[in-house]
Structure 1
Amino acid sequence: MTMDLKGLGPDQLTEMYRHLLYPRLIEEKMLILLRQGKISKWFSGIGQEAIAVGATLALEPNEWIMPLHRNLGVFTARNLPLSRLYMQWQGMQGGYSKGRERSFHFGSPEHYICGMISHLGPQLAVADGVALAYRLKEVPRVVLAFSGEGGTSEGDFHEALNLAAVWDLPVIFLVENNGYALSTPVQEQYRCISIADKARGYGIEGVTIDGNDLLAVYDTIKGVREYCIRYRKPYLVECMTFRMRGHEEASGTRYVPEELLALWAQKDPVLQYEQLLLNKKIITEDILQATRQLLKQQIDEELAKAEQGSLLMIDAAEELQSVYAAPGITGLPTDTVGMPATERRFVEAIREGLVQSLEKDKDLVVMGQDIAEYGGAFKVTEGLVTIFGKQRIRNTPICESAVVGAALGLCLEGKKAVVEMQFADFVSMGFNQVVNNLAKIHYRWAQAANVVIRMPTGAGVGAGPFHSQSNEAWFMHTPGLKVVYPSTPADAKGLLMAAIEDPNPVLFFEHKALYRSISGRVPDKPYVVEIGKARQVRRGQDIAVITYGMGVIWAEDFAAAHPEISIEILDLRSLLPLDYEAIRTSVKRTGRVLVLHEDTLTAGVGAEIAAWIGEHCFPMLDAPVLRCASLDTPVPFNKELEKNFLAKQRLGQSIEELMGY
């Protein structure tokens, strides 16, 4: 017996025993219920309880934790009631996610627990964002993020550790090394001797400890916490342990050698700790048994309470309303009539929107590659660092996933974030964070995600397949996101300020070719343009061109060159949500509709709009709804090939065809 008491008193040691035993007894009960068919799935942490319990007890209760499937001890040590946890596991209305999520895929802000997603790795970058918020607020706290040894093979692990190291963030990265990522053993996962060795590659400290020794975990995390706060640096802790059950119960443990299971059974954290307390005469066998009986009774009472809760009340309207956080009162005007205005280029309007938002809201942070001294690839943020400082205008490493995750972490602590993608094309490197973490978080556990991702987009500048894509349709399909795409300087500023005020994640598309090619009168003072409202560019009777972004410019140029056709132009401005009433009005007025967009044709924005018109406005039509889009190819580099690729090349032909009906 090598465990020691770490200077702790009898009362504290006894209380820690209750915290350690409680999740074990809950799990044993859940396995019985699973065999009885009363629950559908269980991810067991039996054999690993000392890590979750010891780490949680070592933190302050207002410090965020990012747990995973096998960390029941985090939730019980933070005193989440078992009755509600059980309702969560059963998909009941009274659970933390109201039946919308499974098992431990939920968060509880009041307990400072951030809900995981199945992809595991994104949790680590969210911890970076929380830690950044602590640094900005100058509060002496740390955040702790769990990973399994298998998760350390993911790119998210590298990005999160590197970002935390570069930014000197107080994050404890805790790796539970139980030897198997589902069934793949560690020798097929990595070649370094220990995961703690990986810390050196990021210029940070790391340590390997016995994860089955409750007091070693507690004492180590206590010390590491003090280190992270004192030196404002991250730390990697590898906890060696073993999972005595399957990845989840259905998978079993047939791939594990029997002798390995027998060896780790002797290292059971609960039995080890009980023996320590008995040997040190901190507790007696009678007290152990009485504690077990008391906790089992508590479990039965909590489960009985849960069974009295409602199962599920299905309300489609409420489900739809829960996808988005309700916007608050911005205090900014939407009516700009009579407001002093100045002629500004598109890029200048966006910059002014950023400046005025940063002035208005001290909790706003802007992040991106080369955005500080360099001013960004397109100089949108030029000079902002001299006004607001490097704490709020932050250069990032090349790590799109970690930066988007960190933006979400900032939101957990009440801050706002604007992330600049150097090119919209590069958002694919952070795609999971956007469509699975940001987009779904409010629906899952009512957490707002006040994040704007600025997306320099579009072709026409001879930049080829990876710097010219129009990828707005990727995100229009994802509930929980908002997608905005302005075509004028005034809208660019007003929509950007509205997006920053919005408590939901917004993809804000900025056409690169518009940055310095168009100008317009832009109100000088702060204002917002309502997201989800289209703009009637011009009124007509013969045909309606429904479009957005560069398509508006193309349509205006065509209409000006063909006064013989009465063309109505509707600038959507927002793609998610769409202004269906404005679309209906244009259809009714003209009877002929062309949907124009720069993106490729198949499954583009135009397909959705054409389908909606066909379903809801069919009696108003005098001709089929036509789409005019770019070719279904990657964006070519050669200028002549690019010109042929773009929808503008076929605009006249499409209007002529539509007018022929």
Structure 2
Amino acid sequence: METALEKRYIDFDATGFSNEELLTIYKKLVLPRLIEEKMLILLRQGKITKWFSGWGQEGISVGCAYAMNEEEFILPMHRNLGVFTTRNVPLNRLFSQFQGKENGFTKGRDRSFHFGTIEHKLVGMISHLGPQLGIADGIALAAKVKKEQKTTLVFTGDGGASEGDFHEAVNVASVWDLPVIFAIENNQWGLSTPSREQFNCKQFIDKGIGYGIEGIQVNGNNVLDVIRTVRSIREKMLQDSKPVLLELMTFRMRGHEEASGTKYYPEGLQDEWKKQDPVDNYTLFLKEKGILTDALEKEIHDSIKHDIQKNFDLAQNEPLIPAAIETELNDIYAPFTQHVIAPKGDQKEMRFIDAIQDGLKQSMEKYPDLIIMGQDVAEYGGVFKVTEGFVDLFGKDRVRNTPICESAIVGVGLGLSIAGMKAVVEMQFADFVTCGFNQIVNNLAKLHWRWGENADVVVRMPTGANTAAGPFHSQSNEAWFFHTPGLKIVYPSTPEDAKGLLAAAIEDPNPVLFFEHKYLYRSLKAEVSTDYYTTEIGKARTVRQGTDLTIITYGLGVQWAEEYLDQHSEISAEVIDLRTLLPLDTEAVYAAVKKTGKVLVLHEDCMTGGIGGEIAALIAENCFEHLDAPVKRIASLDTPVPFAVPLEQQFLPKVRIDEAVKGILKY
């Protein structure tokens, strides 16, 4: 079979490779190219809906995957089909994935290479390009903590490296000496934007200097150089555990995806790069060495094409996935049945913050693979001193100060989970979670639903106002996440629940946002069991019984409701503390509504878009015939949280409770 080139333009050095291995590499290099040929035909026929081409970049994908140990994780991107094939992912499952069939990896819920497979040690990307870099840090951290001789390789593109996630992940890996190979697939274009409009440095390896790590550049179209370089980096990394920036030079021969085309390329550019084709050049090289003949080439191609067709037919003949609401909803969370451990033994008076600290400490003792991460959480103990003394108890491997980089650290937590560990990430203030928002709502929340992998991460969120801390340290932002399927949101209001719910959140293999009201930290005390125990997630608590009206609330709202009712003994109110916002205990809500027929929903968050609106809507839909008055909501003003005490008190809903209650009771 004729190659597309008559002359070879790449110099290959076969030193260290046997003829048999050179031929093995050839087969691995040809496989993704021939799959692409098939996929491009299928795209035109409408049998697949989208294709991100790696044509001309196979030397990178195949070379990197071939050089890595099969037990080491690789985190690929759009153009890394050769990673999946070199890792021997079954072709019929790949083709099922491309067509959205049941035998794929995401049950039709995501497309192309947006999936992972723990069996093959692959963690797929999401469309936001950067988040996989922090995940790679977490996987590498797990290997380092467990003292495993493993490295991790993660891909990004020259365009994706403009994301803040790139800086955060590389910096964390450098500071923590993590064995991560950051493979920058420099194909010189980000969709239609050339590199000169994306960064000003001459080459990516120059960035290594700023991070204090080594930068290595290699011709990504020379598969032997790629293999040799990655092998060399791996061996060195296993000795000194320092990350490396690996810049792989190549060119994207086709569009970002097929629909975008390549009309924006300067005339003749593709022709020049076609001379550097990794498959054609390597084919000529093997023929020059007498390792590959025309007959053998044809035999290999025919065999691969037959295998491709056979496996495509298997996928093509699969029925379309039946749409089943129950299936979709059931896969939002990883299966988990909580076995509640009731409080027992001695009790001790604890402040809210002491209870959180006790629950966290006992969880660290119960789970040796649990790691705590956050800004200043080690020797300093965190700004609220929740982890004070933990370094002495558990060591700095497990209690880790982080750079200021919320996105990377949430990603690290997810990487630890993928590697079989647990993570608690402390947001210094819940307000700062905006910088890690994408990791939470698009990675943690969707991972299990997309491809069945757990996201065993708890994000601790010191939250709330009433502390004169202003608009960036006082926000109630639980509603931002309440809209996101796949998360669990826990919000305790008592020391007893704070300890039990935190232990339960850590036990749960699903991602949990654990909100801790800062005002309650040192203002609220109660008797709390000193033994390890858990409180049921998803179960509301009846704070007090009553018949006149029902107050549904959570967090500091519980204290406000109790204080008000203590001052108004003439009012008999049922008070429901939700405790868990996702999943919401609607059964308890409806029962309490039906008991009194009058409802006040109280929360600290702003009114518009707050959780109270959803609760009021649920009550109206499901309990309308039991209502004796309109459902009333009270919440904070629809403004940012002000700093000055008089303004903050006006902002908070506590001052409006009396008017709201009396208004309801008039009906």
Instruction: State the TM-score, normalizing by the size of structure 1.
Output: 0.99
8 Å Cα contact 2:444-2:455 kept in structure 1: yes
Matched, 1:303 2:312: yes
8 Å Cα contact 2:574-2:592 kept in structure 1: yes
Match of 1:10 in 2: 19
Structure 1 consecutive aligned stretches of length 4 or more whose deviation exceeds 2 Å: 333-336
AA aligned to 2:568 is H
8 Å Cα contact 1:128-1:409 kept in structure 2: yes
Shift of 1:117: 0.5
Question: Aligned partners of 1:114, 1:423: CA distance in 2, in Å?
Answer: 30
AA aligned to 2:191 is L
Matched, 1:285 2:285: no
8 Å Cα contact 1:482-1:576 kept in structure 2: yes
Shift of 1:576: 0.3
Deviations 1:299-341 (A, max 9, x none): 11111111222221221111101010012566xx4333x5321
Match of 1:241 in 2: 250
Question: Aligned partners of 1:335, 1:227: CA distance in 2, in Å?
Answer: 50
Match of 2:4 in 1: none
AA aligned to 2:505 is A
Root mean square deviation, CA, Å = 0.8
Correspondence 1:343-422 to 2 at 5 A: 343-422=349-428
Shift of 1:237: 0.5
Question: Aligned partners of 1:61, 1:329: CA distance in 2, in Å?
Answer: 35
Match of 1:485 in 2: 491
Matched, 1:182 2:191: yes
Question: Aligned partners of 1:225, 1:480: CA distance in 2, in Å?
Answer: 36
Question: Aligned partners of 2:129, 2:360: CA distance in 1, in Å?
Answer: 33
Match of 2:551 in 1: 545
8 Å Cα contact 2:338-2:508 kept in structure 1: no
Deviations 1:248-289 (A, max 9, x none): 000000001131100000110000100111111122121111
Match of 1:557 in 2: 563
Matched, 1:498 2:504: yes
Question: Aligned partners of 2:534, 2:626: CA distance in 1, in Å?
Answer: 33
- Between 279-288 and 173-182, the greater mean CA deviation after superposition: 279-288
AA aligned to 1:36 is Q
Shift of 1:657: 1.0
8 Å Cα contact 1:6-1:219 kept in structure 2: no
AA aligned to 1:627 is R
Match of 2:6 in 1: none
Deviations 1:388-435 (A, max 9, x none): 000000000000000000000001111000000000000000000000
AA aligned to 1:251 is S
Size of the aligned set, in residue pairs, is 658
AA aligned to 2:119 is E
Question: Aligned partners of 1:398, 1:578: CA distance in 2, in Å?
Answer: 33
Match of 1:577 in 2: 583
Question: Aligned partners of 2:185, 2:417: CA distance in 1, in Å?
Answer: 27
Match of 2:160 in 1: 151
8 Å Cα contact 2:551-2:573 kept in structure 1: yes
Question: Aligned partners of 1:44, 1:564: CA distance in 2, in Å?
Answer: 72
Matched, 1:165 2:171: no
Question: Aligned partners of 2:353, 2:223: CA distance in 1, in Å?
Answer: 56
Deviations 1:422-465 (A, max 9, x none): 00000000000000000000000000011000000000010000
Q: Secondary structure at the match of 2:423?
A: strand
Match of 1:531 in 2: 537
8 Å Cα contact 1:48-1:211 kept in structure 2: yes
Match of 2:108 in 1: 99
Correspondence 1:26-105 to 2 at 5 A: 26-105=35-114
Question: Aligned partners of 2:219, 2:342: CA distance in 1, in Å?
Answer: 63
Question: Aligned partners of 1:83, 1:520: CA distance in 2, in Å?
Answer: 59
Matched, 1:334 2:334: no
AA aligned to 2:312 is L
Q: Which runs of 5+ in 1 are unaligned?
A: none
Match of 1:507 in 2: 513
Question: Aligned partners of 1:608, 1:115: CA distance in 2, in Å?
Answer: 34
Shift of 1:6: 3.0
- The one of 186, 189, 203 equivalent to 1:194 is 203
Question: Aligned partners of 1:223, 1:6: CA distance in 2, in Å?
Answer: 14
Match of 1:644 in 2: 650
AA aligned to 2:373 is M
Match of 2:627 in 1: 621
AA aligned to 1:207 is I
8 Å Cα contact 1:356-1:526 kept in structure 2: yes
Q: Secondary structure at the match of 1:381?
A: coil
8 Å Cα contact 1:65-1:112 kept in structure 2: yes
Question: Aligned partners of 2:626, 2:618: CA distance in 1, in Å?
Answer: 13
Question: Aligned partners of 2:548, 2:268: CA distance in 1, in Å?
Answer: 81
Match of 1:133 in 2: 142
Shift of 1:584: 0.8
8 Å Cα contact 1:368-1:395 kept in structure 2: yes
Deviations 1:128-156 (A, max 9, x none): 00000000110111000000000111100
Match of 1:600 in 2: 606
Question: Aligned partners of 2:603, 2:335: CA distance in 1, in Å?
Answer: 30
Question: Aligned partners of 1:565, 1:11: CA distance in 2, in Å?
Answer: 87
Question: Aligned partners of 1:611, 1:340: CA distance in 2, in Å?
Answer: 43
AA aligned to 1:645 is F
Question: Aligned partners of 1:443, 1:181: CA distance in 2, in Å?
Answer: 29
- Between 314-323 and 396-405, the greater mean CA deviation after superposition: 314-323
Question: Aligned partners of 2:411, 2:536: CA distance in 1, in Å?
Answer: 27
Shift of 1:158: 0.1
AA aligned to 2:363 is S
Question: Aligned partners of 2:171, 2:358: CA distance in 1, in Å?
Answer: 32
8 Å Cα contact 1:441-1:449 kept in structure 2: yes
Q: Secondary structure at the match of 1:301?
A: helix
AA aligned to 2:419 is E
Report percent identity of matched pairs: 58
8 Å Cα contact 1:94-1:310 kept in structure 2: no
Shift of 1:198: 0.7
Question: Aligned partners of 1:339, 1:154: CA distance in 2, in Å?
Answer: 51
Q: Secondary structure at the match of 1:208?
A: strand
Question: Aligned partners of 1:520, 1:243: CA distance in 2, in Å?
Answer: 63
Q: Which runs of 5+ in 2 are unaligned?
A: 1-9
8 Å Cα contact 2:467-2:519 kept in structure 1: yes
8 Å Cα contact 1:91-1:99 kept in structure 2: yes
Deviations 1:10-47 (A, max 9, x none): 11110110000000000011111111222111100000
AA aligned to 2:583 is P
Matched, 1:441 2:447: yes
Match of 1:213 in 2: 222
Q: Secondary structure at the match of 1:258?
A: coil
Shift of 1:514: 0.2
Question: Aligned partners of 1:82, 1:433: CA distance in 2, in Å?
Answer: 30
Instruction: State the TM-score, normalizing by the size of structure 2.
Output: 0.98
Correspondence 1:99-118 to 2 at 5 A: 99-118=108-127
Q: Secondary structure at the match of 1:85?
A: helix
8 Å Cα contact 2:338-2:536 kept in structure 1: no
- The one of 626, 641, 653 equivalent to 1:635 is 641
Question: Aligned partners of 2:47, 2:98: CA distance in 1, in Å?
Answer: 11
Shift of 1:86: 0.8
Match of 1:23 in 2: 32
Q: Secondary structure at the match of 2:109?
A: coil
Match of 1:258 in 2: 267
8 Å Cα contact 1:347-1:380 kept in structure 2: yes
Deviations 1:86-122 (A, max 9, x none): 1111111111101011111010000000021000100
